[in-house]
Each structure stands twice: as structure tokens, then as C-alpha cells.
A = this chain, B = another copy of it.
């Protein structure tokens, strides 16, 4: 059983939608070239820090052409955001066995996260950026959700099947887990550490422990001010 039971249809319907007026060629060569170039320069210099001409230059097209494929810089950013989220979503979820969330599925998920962060650092960095809110449209914000929702479902499933503990609400568990993973690679990018394979394995095990059923609960004995 796959999370994305019909991944191709979803992709197909999006294609059909934008192909209507024959004025945009979605998977055209240049379209993709521009997205790829934009990802590179945005990851390097940020969205606000990058004028349009360098994007076009990096893509090997003229500025005028870029505007034939995207209505505006903002439209380009949103398209890129959604495409990149979709790429991550696909990378993480396609073919992931989710009948039950056991340790092997978790390890697989972790592995996929790591390969994405390692192999597509620009994409990972771009998605991480937080000055997005000023130009992301509702649809883009939605694409954020389209990635997180399946992950939360997996966690809920794990809790229902007893593979994960119920000491955390699923949303909270996911926020912690996702934040921990992002924090790991952010720390590496900022130069605070270098992640060896062993580090990643140990981090994975620690995260699993966090999510798995508890054997004890330490009492809250915070120092009262």
C-alpha cells in the first residue's frame, strides 16, 4: 500500500489544468531550466536577495523568455516552492510501505530524508527558508500541508497499531520530529558540526526512541521561581 496511491493522476491533472490555453508549456525544457536555475540562486542568495536577471542568466535564457514562462517573480517562487515540495513529498513517500509504521519503515523514512538533504541540498535549503511568508500564495502554503498530512497520518497509524507511543499527540510528535531533523542539517549548514554516517544513525535511533512507546515517565519537577 502506498501513501500516494495515484501519484501520476495528481501530476497528470495538474498538467492538464495548466495546458489549457496553450500559452504555458509546463514540462517544457525552458520551464524546467528556469526552475532549476531559480532553485540554485535562491538557495545561494535568498529570494529577496536575487534579482531576476541572474536567474535568467543561470538558466541560459533571456529575461523576456523567463517572463513568458512565469507571470512574475512571485509566480516563479510559488511554482518553485510547490514543485520542490512535491519533489520532496515524492522522494519521501513514493512506495513507502505504510500498512504499519514499524522500525523498518521509520528507518527507511529517515534514510530518505537524509538522501534528500544530502543529494538536493539546494532544495532542502530553499524549503527551509523562512522569509517565504511574504510571497507565498495560499496554494503554496497548501503544498506545505500536502507533505505534512501524510506524515502525520503515518504517525497516527503507528500510534493506533501500538508501534508508536501515545504520550504525544500526533501533531506534536510530528512537529518535534520534523524540527529535530531540520535542526540537524541546519546546524551542519551553519558550520556548527559535520554529520558522519554514524551521527545520522545515532540521531535516527534517538528520534525513534522519542516516538516509540514509553516505559516510564519522569515526573515534572521543574524548579519553581
Contact = CB atoms under 8 A, between A and B. Distances in A.
Interface of A: 8, 45-49, 97, 103-105, 107-108, 110-111, 128-131, 133-134, 144-145, 148, 167-169, 171-184, 186-188, 190, 192-193, 195, 199, 201-211, 214-215, 217-218, 220-223, 225
Contact of A105 (B199, B206, B223): B223
5 contacts: A48-B49, A103-B221, A130-B131, A168-B203, A183-B183
Nearest to A112: B225
Given A131-B47, A221-B103, A223-B97, A209 B214 contact: yes
Report, nearest first, the 5 A-B pairs whose CB atoms are least far apart. A179-B183, A48-B48, A107-B222, A175-B187, A171-B193
Contacts of A210: 206-207, 209-210
Given A46-B48, A48-B49, A171-B193, 11 more contacts: A107-B220, A107-B222, A110-B222, A128-B130, A131-B131, A172-B184, A172-B199, A172-B202, A176-B183, A178-B183, A205-B217
B184 A183 contact: no
B222 A168 contact: no
A175 B168 contact: no
Contacts of A218: 103, 205, 208-209
Secondary structure type dominating chain A contacts: helix
A146 to B, nearest CB: 13
A133 B46 contact: yes
Given A172-B199, A176-B183, A192-B148, A48 B167 contact: no
Contacts of A208: 218
- Of the listed residues A178, A204, A211, the one surrounded by the most CB atoms of chain B closer than 10 A to its CB is A178
- Of the listed residues A46, A195, A211, the one surrounded by the most CB atoms of chain B closer than 10 A to its CB is A46
A172 B193 contact: yes
Given A48-B48, A49-B48, A176 B130 contact: no
Contact of A49 (B128, B134, B215): B134
